[in-house]
Structure 1
């Protein structure tokens, strides 16, 4: 089983989650298409350079651990993965839904991260 706890996830989603948890920005960024869009914390990041900058910031801004909660396939291209983050950020604990959209080759085209509930 992969460190993210979801062995049935598409390979790029699994690779992204594992790499992000290890703060491996180059590997995580390579999971996205060049024109990818990431929406997180009320901000939209467009293009691989902006996504890489977002990954750099989110990998170092706080110290946290992740616990996999659910992984729901909506179809071959759309997955929602929910993880619990515990760390030194405001509030200390949050459950986040990661909504992934993939292209025909399984690369991430869109990722929207939002608190659950």
Structure 2
């Protein structure tokens, strides 16, 4: 993970709305969250909803977008999934994050 920008490394280590721009947009599980307040609520719900372990599978960077692929296993429907986290940064913060299988 050393090659990832600090905002992405921090998100993967322990997500916080502070790592996002004030007008950031997150799309996860078919829902979109706009701004730090909505993103903070999403992060808080996600932290308590399921227990899981994430294993880093890969990292790529192209056309201004960072993609991190993780394999998740745990207590959620299906029990395991590979997810792609697509990040766009503005300055040193996350401006857009899209999470999808």
TM-score w.r.t. the length of structure 2 is 0.96
Q: Which has the higher contact order (CA 8 A, sep 6+)?
A: 2
- 2:3 alignment partner, SS class: coil
Q: CA deviation at 1:80?
A: 0.3
Matches within 5 A, 1:23-42: 28-42=16-30
38, 44, 49: which one aligns with 2:37: 49
Q: How many residues align?
A: 101
Q: CA deviation at 1:106?
A: 2.0
Residue in 2 that maps onto 1:7 = 2
Looking at structure 2, the residues matched to 54 and 113 of structure 1 have their Cα atoms a distance apart, in angstroms, of 13
CA deviations on 1:31-70 (whole Å, 9 max, x unpaired) are: 1001000000000001100000000011110000000000
Matches within 5 A, 1:1-117: 6-20=1-15, 28-75=16-63, 77-103=64-90, 105-115=91-101
- 2:4 alignment partner, SS class: coil
- 2:76 alignment partner, SS class: coil
Q: Which stretches in structure 2 are left out of the alignment for 5+ residues?
A: none
Q: CA deviation at 1:17?
A: 0.7
Q: Which stretches in structure 1 are left out of the alignment for 5+ residues?
A: 1-5, 21-27
TM-score w.r.t. the length of structure 1 is 0.84
